Structure 1
Amino acid sequence: MSQRQKILIVDDEPDIRELLEITLGRMKLDTRSARNVKEAQEWLAREAFDLCLTDMRLPDGNGLELVQHIQKRHNQVPVAMITAHGSLDTAIHALKAGAFDFLTKPVDLTRLRELVTSALRLRIAPAEDNRIDHRLLGSSPPMQALRKQIAKLARSQAPIYISGESGSGKELVARLIHEQGPRAEQSFVPVNCGAIPSELMESEFFGHRKGSFTGAHEDKPGLFQVANGGTLFLDEVADLPLAMQVKLLRAIQEKSVRAIGGQQEQVVDVRVLCATHKDLNQEVAAGRFRQDLYYRLNVIELRVPPLRERREDIEEIANSVLRRLAESAGEPATLLPPHALAALKGYRFPGNVRELENMLERAYTLCDNDQINIEDLRLAEPSRPTEQDGPSLANIDNLEDYLESIERKLILQALEETRWNRTAAAQRLNLTFRSMRYRLKKLGLE
């Protein structure tokens, strides 16, 4: 007979404690109750718990202190915060501190049961950290840190804003957060907000009833209904028009939607993740994105590093792509010689991993003798200003990157001309060998 899961309830109001104990008992769960932070910490030291439900206001402290204590000493235990109605700022602070989710008073018992069921899935789901290895490639420090953040954020229900450049893998990161969390068995619904015509947005997001407008020949569920119980990923969320931003904010806050032509609100349980390649702060400052929606979506920001910040991962990604291409074609693996790899490491990759994958697929098709050479890669040359005009600020988005790209290009040219003889290349550039070696390491060309 399996042991029943155990919940710690922390609240100084006897009526609330009793209500929670009865509700959880009917769910076949064991409970322990504490009236304050001190008693809660004593229970945590004595017994193992599968979930902690804590009020925000306690006689000897507050729930945030308990969240931080559990994060530090019992980080396998998810914590849900119970806050006063309308205390959204408090709930956001709790989520940022590491809380799994939050409830508002008076406690909605249906919502409580959903939250508890979702949180308990964290404890029974097997650890499958290795499953991301074949998709989120790279052993560099930025990627190791990103994996740790994904694993941590997967245990929360906090809305997450995934920032990063186009092609850096934001949707993959969102998908991994979903797959490693308690909603993994439910739907992951990605949507490109910039690809939906403005006149169809409300129908796409919230659905419509048959006959509600011309062309509505049958009932259609919206994205929120399809994602119910799972995760809705809003890619390029900055492209939403202001009118739709208002409706999206209401749906997130109220956790309910109404289909076009519908008479009743439908409760939805959806975790919202969003992303954009634009700077949302700038969009808010320019008046193109609502500040209240920004604060609701950006509870936690997760930055995906561009490929140029992790050049040491290029070889691993390239080899993986080439192996996949060869396997699907039933052919022997195509080689990437050192000079071609060095050229890739010297390229800025404005399109990031997606550009690298496309570049290798094209090179794989065009190359001869199962070997990809530099000319097969067709690396885009940065525009060269004439000596008369000099560099143009219009072509420079970052001075350090611009200067680094020039340095890398000249070093690669010297290496090519000297058949990769480093000593000769250093002499060609009038550098000492030590200086040459330092620059090669700095630029990831070793």
Structure 2
Amino acid sequence: MSAETPHVLVVDDEADLRELLVITLGRMKLKASTADSLASARDLLEKHRFDLCLTDMNLGDGTGLEVIDFAAQTAPDMPIAVITAYGNMEMATAAMKGGAYDFIAKPVALDRLRQLIQDGLGIRQNEDTNTPSDNLVGDSPAMLVLKEQVRKLARSQAPIYISGESGSGKERIARMIHAQGPRREKAFVAVNCGAIPSELMESEFFGHRKGAFTGAVEDRKGLFREADGGTLFLDEVADLPLHMQVKLLRAIQEKSVRPVGEAREFPVNLRILCATHKDLAREMAEGRFRQDLFYRLNVIEAHVPPLRERREDIPGLVDHILARLSDAWQISPPKISTGAMQALQGYGFPGNVRELENILERALTLCDGSQITEENLSLQSTTPITDTDIPHRKTEAGRPSQIPLEDYLQDIEKQEILQALEETHWNRTAAAKKLGMTFRSLRYRLKKLELDQDDTGDS
């Protein structure tokens, strides 16, 4: 944004609404210029630089979509918000897919309008610090596309559907979109929809009043109000039951929530990001996910590629993960042998980056401290897995097919540590030696696996 007073372009063919917008902008100490048609808007955009544009969707000689298209050529960094007729979500969705960062419905509510303007100006203020490439590891073609998409999505306030396999890093992408956008100073609230019991969902999402039901011993704000002003990330959104999907849709459309046992509604201003490893379109087609909610959440889709589609990123990821783990364990990062790296690059990674992290964490525990070898990796198979193998991959090493690999490996690790502790009568120094790891590494594992009985040391 320029050092001078921010300059806002108002495009609307209704004189009354133009006047309302100009008055509101003036009270916010902002400069305003107006256009009553598509032609005059194009003329102003060619001659002047604006920090923000507010455009109606229905103009006498065109539409707001044409304003967006023209601005994309003449002022690509200028945030645009659109004004739509009440309930016309199709037009609002089309505008956000075209590049608008948000929309407001008629009749225009002044408090919502002011927030819309502040959000748009906040996007310009964050432009110089928008550096997602510093936070995403990898330079493969798929990752370069994703980095650029994150940069663009951070500018928008549109709902984003983040697709990708389990362990691919969907929540990380959601956090990056939030951190690069105008809401980054506000809360980022993440919830796993599949982890909330069905009977508690309404209370968890929308809050409750004290005494509203058995066990409600105090007022609770709920996730929507906790995320007010910031971002709400709905992970595994496909796991929401149908009755909760209806309530979620209403809260998103009305931008307000009513806590359980409360007579009034509370306005909320937040951005919704959602993710699932399931095929949301298939869930909708098969009747398990509401069509209207699908189109409301899936305004823009960001796809996180599986690790097997970006194998060239594995060496960089290995270095990054080992550096982070070594720093947490307060040890020098070990080297990784050529054979070990080749084995990792030939592995299929059905659990994606999360599985790579677990493999390296286990290898760091088992190695001699200076080098990780192929034996330390304990991969399930040394045979390279191709993309076509993944959907039909059979379980190896006796793992039941219904148990996720991550849980299976963690259970094996837990049993090995418990056995060593029992054999050494819970002398952790002796158990660490028996397991071939440092005392610090064992202490870290005990804490992660919730096996630490106390912090008083060894007997």
- Please give the range of the TM-score, normalised by the shorter of the 2 chains: 0.7 to 0.9
3-state secondary structure, aligned to 2:32: strand
Equivalent position amino acid for 1:28 in 2: K
Written as runs of structure 1 = structure 2, the 5 A alignment for 1:239-388 is 239-368=239-368, 370-381=370-381
Equivalence map 1:162-311=2 (5 Å): 162-311=162-311
Alignment correspondent of 1:398: 388
Distance (whole Å) between structure 1 residues aligned to residue 78 and residue 204 of structure 2: 37
Matching residue's letter, 1:235 = D
- 1:87 maps to what in 2? 88
Report 1:12-27 matches (<5 A): 12-27=13-28
Q: What is the CA deviation profile of residues 380-412 of structure 1, one whole-angstrom value per residue up to 9, with x for unaligned ones?
A: 12899xxxxxxxxxx999359879xxxxxxxxx
Instruction: Output the CA distance in 1 between the equivalents of 2:187 and 2:67.
Output: 32
Number of residue equivalences: 392
Q: Distance in 2 between matches of 1:339 and 1:205?
A: 49
Q: Quick one: which amino acid aligns to residue 43 of structure 1?
A: L
How far apart, CA to CA, are the structure 2 residues paired with 1:207 and 1:401? 40
Following superposition of structure 1 onto structure 2, how do residues 65-104 of structure 1 map, counting pairs within 5 Å? 65-104=66-105
**Secondary structure in structure 2 of the residue aligned to 1:272:** strand
- Residue 374 and residue 295 in structure 1: after superposition, are their counterparts in 2 closer, same or farther (change >3 A)? same
Q: Which amino acid aligns with 2:323?
A: R
Which secondary structure does the structure 2 equivalent of 1:234 belong to?
strand
Task: Output aligned runs, 1:24-43, within 5 Å.
Answer: 24-43=25-44
SS at 1:274 equivalent: strand
Over the residues paired in the alignment, what is the CA RMSD in angstroms? 2.0
- Hey, what's the Cα distance between the residues in 1 that align with 2:383 and 2:122? 53
| Contact residue 132 and residue 176 of structure 1 kept, 8 A | no
Cα displacement (A) at 1:132? 5.2
| 1:397–1:323 CA distance, 2 compared to 1 (3 A) | closer
Instruction: Please say if residues 348 and 390 of structure 2, whose CA atoms lie closer than 8 Å, have aligned partners that are also in contact.
Output: no
Counterpart-to-counterpart distance in 1, 2:218 and 2:175: 31
Q: Check 1:131–1:80 CA distance in 2 against 1; reply closer, same or farther (3 A cut).
A: closer
Q: Judging changes above 3 Å, is the alpha-carbon distance between structure 1 residues 356 and 17 closer, same or farther for their aligned structure 2 residues? A: same
CA distance in 1, matches of 2:91, 2:7: 26
Residues 154-206 of structure 1: CA deviation (Å, up to 9, x unaligned): 11111110000011000000011111111111110000001111111000000
- The amino acid of 1:53's aligned partner reads L
* One-letter amino acid matched to 1:268: V
Q: 2-side partners of 1:145 and 1:381: how far apart?
A: 31
CA distance in 1 between counterparts of 2:301 and 2:3 reads 39
What does residue 150 of structure 2 align with? 150
Q: Provide the C-alpha distance between the structure 1 equivalents of 2:178 and 2:330, rounded to a whole number of angstroms.
A: 33
Unaligned runs of 5+ in 1: 385-394, 404-446
Q: Structure 1 residue 5 and structure 2 residue 30: aligned?
A: no
SS in 1 for 2:161: strand
Shift of 1:48: 1.2
- The residue correspondences of 1:397-436 to structure 2 (distance < 5 A) are 398=388
Q: Secondary structure at the match of 2:128?
A: coil
Structure 1 letter corresponding to 2:143: M
Mapping 1:41-56, distance limit 5 Å: 41-56=42-57
8 Å Cα contact 2:150-2:173 kept in structure 1: yes
Distance in 1 (alpha carbons) for counterparts of 2:365 and 2:386: 33
8 Å CA contact retained: 1:234, 1:272: yes
Instruction: Note the alpha carbon deviations across 1:217-276, whole angstroms, 9 max, x for none.
Output: 111101000001110000000011111011001101111100001011111111100000
**SS of equivalent to 1:398:** helix
Q: Shift of residue 284 of structure 1? A: 1.0
Cα offset for 1:320?
A: 1.1
Correspondence for 1:391:
none
Structure 1 letter corresponding to 2:22: E
**Using the alignment, how far apart are the partners of 2:154 and 2:189 within structure 1?**
16
Q: Secondary structure at the match of 1:120?
A: helix
Question: Equivalents in 2 of 1:356, 1:400: separation in Å?
Answer: 16
Give CA deviations for 1:296-332 in whole Å, capped at 9, x if unaligned.
1001111000000000000000011112222333322
Query: Which residues of structure 2 form unaligned runs of 5+?
Result: 394-459
The secondary structure found in structure 2 opposite 1:269 is: coil
After superposition, the C-alpha distances for 1:5-62 in whole angstroms (9 at most, x for unaligned) are: 1110001111111111011100101000001111111111222111100111112211
CA contact (8 A) 2:131 2:180 kept: no
Q: Say whether 1:141 aligns with 2:141.
A: yes
Normalised by the length of structure 1, the TM-score is 0.85
Equivalents in 2 of 1:371, 1:396: separation in Å? 28
Letter in 2 for 1:319: D
SS in 1 for 2:10: strand
| Equivalent residues of 1:159, 1:299 under 8 A apart | yes
Where does residue 424 of structure 1 map in the other structure?
A: none
- 1:65 partner amino acid: E
C-alpha distance in 2 between matches for 1:90 and 1:378: 53
Give the secondary structure class of the aligned counterpart of 2:107: coil
- 1:213–1:115 distance in 2 versus 1, CA, 3 Å: same
Q: 2:140, 2:391 → 1: CA distance? A: 19
Does the CA contact (< 8 Å) of 1:396 and 1:402 recur in 2? Answer: no
| 1:69 Cα deviation after fit | 1.3
CA gap of 1:18–1:129, structure 2 versus 1, over 3 A, is closer
Which AA in structure 1 matches 2:26?
Answer: G
Distance 1:221 1:18, change over 3 A: same
Match for 2:156: what amino acid?
A: S
